[in-house]
A = this chain, B = another copy of it.
Amino acid sequence: MVKLEDARRIIAAAEVKAKELGQPMNIAVVDEGGNLVSHARMDGAWIGSIDVSINKAFTSRAFDISTQALGENSQPGQQFYGILTSNHGRVMVFAGGVPLTRDGRIVGAVGISGGSGEQDQSVAEAAAAAF
């Protein structure tokens, strides 16, 4: 179970990493049902990334995989090509969504959007590690 206090700890860790990279981010945490627990947009972060961060978190929990790995599998010619059309536009297939694991079980996910794919991924991993 991802409680609001868990989400806040995850978001705080993401903010620390984002500031270290000098790149403001949108940060979203979803629970086991894929539903939003909390979102924060750091000052100056892209407004288009609000939706992207929430949907990266959703996607990562929805398929129990990082969005980076899903992205590799959904390029043209790959096995999941076209999956981004499903779920009413909520599937994000690029880096920044990472599952949250407790006792070996995925119970939620974090989604980061606001920088390059590499930056988003790095912040997402730091955030998930704080769970």
| Contact indicator B86/A51 (Cβ below 8 Å) | yes
| Contact indicator B86/A89 (Cβ below 8 Å) | yes
CA distance A83 to B55 in the complex (A): 11
| Contact indicator B50/A36 (Cβ below 8 Å) | yes
Most B CB contacts (10 A, CB to CB) among A32, A48, A84 go to A48
Residue A47 at the chain B interface, CB threshold 8 Å: yes
CA distance A94 to B38 in the complex (A): 23
Contact with B along A42-83 (1 / 0, CB 8 A): 110011111110010011011110000001001111011111
Task: Please report the total number of A residues contacting B with Cβ < 8 Å.
Answer: 54
CB-defined contacts of A83 to chain B, threshold 8 Å: 52, 92, 94
| Contact indicator A116/B79 (Cβ below 8 Å) | yes
| Contact indicator A75/B81 (Cβ below 8 Å) | yes
| Contact indicator A43/B4 (Cβ below 8 Å) | yes
Residue from B42, B62, B64, B91 in contact with A4 in the complex, judged by beta carbons closer than 8 Å: B42
| Contact indicator A88/B86 (Cβ below 8 Å) | no
